[in-house]
Amino acid sequence: FDEPFSDPSLIPTLAISEAARAHVTVVLTGDGGDETFMGYPWVSHPSRLFDRRRWVEWVPGWRRVAGPLLEARWMEHAVRGAARAARLNSDNPRVKISLLQDLVEARGPEQVYDTFQSALPKRFLGAGDRARLGGSLVEHARAWYPEYAWDSAAARGTQALLSALDLVTYLRDGVLVKVDRATMAYALEARSPLLDHRLVHLAQSLDTSFKIHRGVHKHLLRELVARRVRGVSRLKKHGFGVPLPPGGSGPTPRARWASLVERRFFETWAPR
């Protein structure tokens, strides 16, 4: 796969590319629809969460109370118990608490977005590493890609700004890389009609209300698709993840790793 690439959806993409190549040599993909028509819910979550948190700021001294409360030892047990009750991953409760602390301390939607996208809480890093990371993801993108109209996107609101960030970074450096490598691995050509430059320009000229309507993301594109396949247009969005057996082959992440990765490695590569 050449350079390291860690998006797990590359595995099912490889599988479907292999299956498609048995019948055709060229396929059309839907890549770009989410980035141009605001299909990802995470472009809305930061603003919603930050706006709701602002109501708490009316409570005098809430920050002084929240800090020691989240640092308390019993909080780890409470978080682990809540995660288990919700049938979620209960490992590393301190990481979850630290992420919550970062959300509490966020000064705007962009920092909330950074917290959700971070592999680890910034407080886990040393001062030197935090300094090297610098500002927010949006600030980094502005510096790396100054040719884009970031100020224009920001003027339209946080949703438009984060959607532009996905278009410039996640789509180009992640999604398209994945699809290109997976399809080329089987000599399959992929075309992305939703990334026609005229359609992208049109989408960028539209107000956010055309793309997110009453909480429904990618609204305009859904309405257009509904003219042909209404049932598909009403489906909830879900990722293209790796199919796993029921229970994930183990009660804990460590057990699942041993079952799905280590065992398979030794079965495939160990000397016989």
DSSP assignment of 110-153, as one string?
A: HHHHHHHH-SS-GGGS-HHHHHHH-S-HHHHHHHH-TTS-HHHH
Distances (CA, A) of 216 to 46, 221, 223: 16, 11, 11
149-191 confidence digits (pLDDT tens)? 899 999 999 999 999 999 999 999 999 999 999 999 999 999 9
More confident residue, 104 or 65: 104
pLDDT band at 51 (very low <50, low <70, confident <90, very high): confident
Q: Are 34 and 175 in contact (CB under 8 A)?
A: no
CA gap 257, 248 in Å, rounded: 9
pTM listed for this prediction: 0.75
Three-state SS at 213: strand
* pLDDT at 269 (0 to 100): 46
- Find the helix packing angle between 176-184 and 10-21, rounded to 10°: 40
Average pLDDT over residues 239-258: 61
Vertex 51: Cα angle to 105 and 235 (nearest 5): 115
| E-strand stretches of 120-268 | 189-191
Three-state SS at 60: coil
261 pLDDT exceeds 60? no
> Which of 32-36, 96-100, 152-156 has the weakest average pLDDT?
96-100
222, exposed or middle or buried, with CB in 10 Å at 0-12, 13-18, 19+? buried
Taking only Cα atoms into account, the Rg of the chain, rounded to an integer number of angstroms, comes to 22
Average pLDDT over residues 134-151: 88
Q: Are 122 and 106 in contact (CB under 8 A)?
A: no
**Consecutive H or E run containing 65:** helix 62-71
- Find the helix packing angle between 93-105 and 45-56, rounded to 10°: 80
